[in-house]
Amino acid sequence: MPFEKVESAVDFPSLERMILQFWDDNKIFDKRKALNAGKPKWSFLDGPITANNPMGVHHAWGRTYKDLYNRYFAMAGHELRYQNGFDCQGLWVEVEVEKSLGLKSKRDIENLVPGNPEASIDKFVQACKDRVNEFARVQTNQSIRLGYWMDWDRTDADWAKTPDERKSYFTMSEENNYTIWSFLKKCFCKGLIGRGYDVMPWCGRCGVGISEQEMKEGYKLVEHRACFVKFPLKGREKENLLVWTTTPWTLTSNVGAAINPELTYLKIKLKGEIYYVAKGAFKLNRMEGSGGEGGDDEEEGGSKKTRPWLKEVPNLVTIEQHFKVKAGKGDSYEIVGEVKGNDLLGWEYVGPFDDLPAQNHEYGYPEEVAKITKQSGKWPQVTAAHAHRVVSGGKDVTETEGTGIVHTAPGCGAIDYQWGKENGLPPVAPIGDDGVFVPGFGALTGKNAVDPTTADAVFEQLKANDRLFATERYVHRYPHCWRCKTELLYRLVDEWFINMGPKGERVNDEWTYPRDDKGSFRGDIADVVRQVKFLPESIGGQKRELDWLGNMGDWMISKKRYWGLALPIWVDENDPTQFEVIGSYQELKERAVEGWAEFEGHTPHRPWIDRVKIRNAKTGNLMSRVPDVGNPWLDAGIVGFSTLKYNTDRAYWDKWYPADFITESFPGQFRNWFYALLALSTMMSDGKPPFKTLLGHGNVRDQYGHEMHKTAGNSIEFIAAADRGGALKDPKGNALPFQAIGADVMRWLYARQSPAANLNFGPEPAAEVRSRVFFKLWNTYSMFCNYAIGDGFDPAAPHVPVAERQDIDRWLLSNLQLLVKDARAAYSAYDVMTFALKAEEFIEGDLSNWYVRRNKDRLHSKNADLDAAGLKDKSAAYQTLYTTLTTLCKLMAPCVPFITEVMWKNLRLPTDPESVHLSDFPVAEDALGDAALSEDMRAVQRVISLGLAARQQAKLNVRQPLAELVVSPSPVKDKTGALLGDADKRAVERFRDLILDELNVKSVRLHDPAVGALLTASVQLNKKVAGSKFGSKLKEAEETLAKQDQTEFASRLDRGPVELVGVSLDKTDFNIAFAASAGWAGVADRGTQVAISTTITEALKLEGLARDVVRQVQSARKDAKLDLLDKIALHLSADAPDLAKALTEHRQTITTAVQATQWSDVPLSGADVHTATVKIDGQPLVIALRVVRA
């Protein structure tokens, strides 16, 4: 069978584009699906990628996992669903659309069509749909370029269809949205849906509340200006509470001061005034601690941790130091007493901004807040200014942050609001949805709360009223909008929630979930979590999920935005306490009494859904839909139902639910997509998990380990890495160019990476993988094909029985079967890293550096010079390589589908599938396994490695022949109890010729340890490692060791731990050096000792020079860009006597090695002659060669 010639130089991206065309032209994907139809199913659920921007290389990690496991299970004989998903709705899209339309705020959206909010929303929502469609198409093409096999929408006709009609699923589809309605209806029927009035994290720029899940995504280490403020106590002349805050703007809304009744408070006199401060806080080193709450990288362990800090900000000083500064020179503070926190409760004080209208409005401020507060019956009829008093914050008030007295603003903080409800402190809510002070706050009205000038204004007023004690620069982790990166505020708002039930209780690291009258939704979810396998096990995925469930609050499902799920909640227009949840399109149609005609024909999005009204069956009043849209994690959480046609084809859902496998990047997803899937499935399927196995993986960093950011110049777009190349910046800002690496190299980087760790991606890691894996494999494939062409090898011809092949052939095939077993086990266990690393070892070690290198001469031999036995042996080598390469194609095809397809197309028999991806995944042939042979080969490789080390010790390169190698077998036992020395002996006897050739020695023999040690040892304590184990006995240990027979002591260490002055030690506790007798060099490892003769006779020297000549001629062939099989005419000349003599005596060896069919004693001439002058042992050698044409 003729092979096509393979060039050693290869452009992987170009080959990949060629293969993409081959797959399309021959409908390979469709054929794979047809092959597997009706076979045992394997169900995969795609976590949707947000269709908002082009893919980056970080997207390719998860998509590589998805594709390679899909490909494996397809090759292993399973029927699959191939449905990609696009996440479409939510703030991430809205923010980008706002940028593209030049909008600066949420209010601009409702004025896109001036004076017409409804038309403006319609225009904005359509722009969001358009952006999703645009980038879904971009990401589709990029995913195809990655080699990701899915049922893709490829044509204009595909993209002209509605999202519900396309092959990929879109979370903006009607099916997806209405299936979420089904979920919310179930929650409503169980009494779990409700409106909550609470203080929430809020983005003023986006005008939206941030859920607990989302807030964790946006913590940053930032600097704020904090202040210490005096709260004068009523009825206690010149006595003050001293409070501290990092958000000065909230002082406008102060209502209370929270203390811990269990703490002791100092009474400190300074300049005639008294200040109350928690005793433990006064002299506390404030640079210890966590630096505030934060995201996933939050410090743990409490107050003894070093506080994260910014270098440009001075360290915090103690509160005591602030008092000293305030006192000034010549004065000081005085501690005049102590008081228990419990005794402070109820003390009244004067607030810092009591003159504001907002502070003097009954039941709180503004009016809508006061109305709700009054209706609740939980607050007295009092203004904030008249409610100022000391209340208990319990253990939430500590001495490790601030003064131990917490400024409490119920309208500006979640825990503050809780304290306010418990103590009748009316909430003052100063901020509108744009983050700006509302009317009623004097000169601050209209100012943005996070603008630095706002803090300036607050400080100025505090100074004017003699309330400002001190200010400082303070660094802490503070939440920012996960999407637009704006600093968050805490704002009193009404949102819609799913009641999760009481928080969990953890005892001995095990969670239990108390139940109230509505049960425990979180507890039901936890039961589902425990049915799922979380991988990799090392990251503790199940524990992370259970921890999140145990601690999370009620699930906020509403967003006061525009582009997203229209929450199907209709509220009574006359009684807002009454509401209903609509569960389907059909139910809404049946219940609609207004607006249906305007809505029908539109997708269930704003603004058209807002027109539909229903009637309250209890009151007869009209009910309108709340304007909120849904939390986007509902969109992705429902896909286990919407994509499987839960509402429209239950048999289809039954077939494919649950998924066998999902995978996504794990940071954050335990509280986002993983959680959403688990929560929605718990409700929808009565406790059946949505997936069986979850594989999480880390994040992609740049090659220096830094987070990738466009602004830092270190982020890499997928298409740049695959095809275009580009330029990055290193950490110092220097240009860092990189070439396109193609999809396969990228995919292999991900396949070989531990999913538990972050991956450093960049030019250097890519170059290493190309060199160690791809070039090694390609060079082997190229050599095989080109040699096979020259020799007319036909893989379809009868094979030489494996039993009749050389040991090295059988060894390679035996190791190949082990790799097949490892591959099946790894892929099946979702552990591709294990396979990838073993494949690298096999390609680089077994195949390229050992088998191919050992057999080049065997394959290179001329057929005409071989007898029947020689031809049979050569065929056996070809057949061994052919089997290995074709098997590797199948094993690696799921990971690197392009290079394996290129190789397969050239290697396959006419009877083989036209694509490697139409092949069955290999099954190990146990008959080819030979454990004893593998053990002996490992032993000989160990001996050869030691021999090479001995050569290196003597500074003698391998081209210089030496007289003898002596091997002393190891007395050490392996894990099975077998002596390594037995394998050493067999290796020397069985592979004598191989040792001679590899080490370029004339003879090898075994040493009998009974006659004495081959090498002498010198053993010293490694004090850095073992010194601390001895304490005061170190000198005694050294003296005892010096008295030992060093060689015998080293031998004992090889066999296991030894005892020295009562301390057990192993080899790592010592520095051991070995020495051979004069004229020899020796090394040892695990008890095996080798010594190599270093005496060089004249004959050995001439042979070494001849080998150097061969190397230089081969280099000249390469420089002349000769083909591997080209024959040459050769002229060599040298003036140095030794070198000239080597040319004469070893002419035949040289000509054979360099494929010279003509030797010329006179210089060659002509335009086709390539010449070079090189030096060997410092002496010049002239080389002239040209190709001899047949």
pLDDT in tens, 274-316: 999 999 999 999 998 655 555 443 333 333 467 899 999 999 9
Tell me, yes or no, whether 829 and 903 share the same domain: yes
What pLDDT score does 299 carry? Answer: 31
Burial of 303 (0-12, 13-18, 19+ CB in 10 A): middle
Is 187 within the bounds of a domain? no
Over residues 760-781, the mean pLDDT reads: 96
Is 5 within the bounds of a domain? no
Tell me, yes or no, whether 401 and 257 share the same domain: yes
Q: Which two tokens stand for residue 152?
A: 């893709």
Tell me, yes or no, whether 888 and 988 share the same domain: no
Do residues 170 and 176 touch, judged by C-beta distance below 8 A? yes
Q: Which two tokens stand for residue 504?
A: 């969990």
Q: Which two tokens stand for residue 798?
A: 């009868």
Q: What is the mean pLDDT of the chain?
A: 94
Domain end marker among 447, 473, 499: 473
What pLDDT score does 862 carry? Answer: 79
The rounded distance, in Å, linking the Cα atoms of 288 and 304 is 6
Tell me, yes or no, whether 1047 and 1118 share the same domain: no
Evaluated on CA atoms 991, 993, 997, 1000, the torsion sign reads: positive
In which element (H, E) is residue 652 found? Answer: helix 650-656
The rounded distance, in Å, linking the Cα atoms of 615 and 617 is 6
Task: Provide, rounded to the nearest whole percent, the portion of the chain with pLDDT above 70.
Answer: 98
pLDDT in tens, 972-991: 888 888 888 999 999 999 99
Domain end marker among 990, 1011, 1032: 1011
What pLDDT score does 306 carry? Answer: 75
Evaluated on CA atoms 476, 480, 486, 490, the torsion sign reads: negative
Helix (H, G, I), strand (E, B), or coil: what is residue 400?
Answer: coil
Tell me, yes or no, whether 979 and 1020 share the same domain: no
- Going by C-alpha positions, the residue among 705, 675, 315, 244 that lies closest to residue 467 is 244
pLDDT in tens, 851-900: 999 998 898 877 878 999 999 999 999 999 999 999 999 999 999 999 99
For the domain that residue 168 is a member of, what is the CATH number? 3.40.50.620
Tell me, yes or no, whether 393 and 266 share the same domain: yes
Q: Is the pLDDT of residue 330 over 60?
A: yes
Region class of 1056: left (phi > 0), else alpha (psi between -120 and 50), else beta: left
pLDDT in tens, 382-398: 999 999 999 999 999 99
Report the helix count and the strand count for the chain, using DSSP H and E: 41, 44
Tell me, yes or no, whether 252 and 324 share the same domain: yes
DSSP 588-636: HHHHEEESHHHHTTS-S-TTGGGG-EEE-TTT--EEEE-S-EE-HHHHH
Taken as a whole, the chain contains a residue count of 1190
Is 508 within the bounds of a domain? no
DSSP 138-150: HHHHHHHHHT---
Is 534 within the bounds of a domain? no
Is 397 within the bounds of a domain? yes
**102 contacts: CB under 8 Å, gap ≥ 6:** none
Backbone phi and psi for residue 633, each to the nearest 5 degrees, phi listed first: -70, -15
Q: Is the pLDDT of residue 1129 over 90?
A: yes
Angle formed by the axes of helices 12-26 and 28-36, nearest 10°: 60
For the domain that residue 892 is a member of, what is the CATH number? 1.10.730.10
**114 contacts: CB under 8 Å, gap ≥ 6:** none
Tell me, yes or no, whether 393 and 249 share the same domain: yes
Is 733 within the bounds of a domain? yes
The rounded distance, in Å, linking the Cα atoms of 916 and 472 is 67
What pLDDT score does 1003 carry? Answer: 97
How many other C-beta atoms lie within 10 A of the C-beta of residue 439? 12
Tell me, yes or no, whether 1069 and 958 share the same domain: no
In which element (H, E) is residue 275 found? Answer: strand 273-278
Tell me, yes or no, whether 881 and 809 share the same domain: yes
Range of the domain at 155: 12-91+129-177+636-760
pLDDT in tens, 801-818: 999 999 999 999 999 999
Q: Is the pLDDT of residue 956 over 60?
A: yes
Rounded (to 5) percent helix, strand, coil in the chain: 45, 20, 35
Q: Which two tokens stand for residue 458?
A: 């607050």
Q: Which two tokens stand for residue 661?
A: 């496998």
How many other C-beta atoms lie within 10 A of the C-beta of residue 329? 6
Q: Which residue has the higher pLDDT, 1050 or 639?
A: 639
Tell me, yes or no, whether 830 and 721 share the same domain: no
Over residues 118-123, the mean pLDDT reads: 98
Terminal alpha carbon distance of the chain: 23
What pLDDT score does 303 carry? Answer: 36
Tell me, yes or no, whether 974 and 1060 share the same domain: no
pLDDT in tens, 517-567: 888 999 999 999 999 999 999 999 999 999 999 999 999 999 999 999 999
DSSP 772-796: IIIHHHHHHHHHHHHHHHHHT--TT
Q: Is the pLDDT of residue 766 over 50?
A: yes
Is 365 within the bounds of a domain? no
What pLDDT score does 291 carry? Answer: 52
Is 559 within the bounds of a domain? no
Task: Provide, rounded to the nearest whole percent, the portion of the chain with pLDDT above 90.
Answer: 86
Question: Band of the pLDDT at 1048, cuts 50, 70, 90?
Answer: confident
The rounded distance, in Å, linking the Cα atoms of 1044 and 301 is 49
Domain end marker among 473, 490, 523: 473
Q: Is the pLDDT of residue 172 over 50?
A: yes
The count of structural domains within the chain is 6
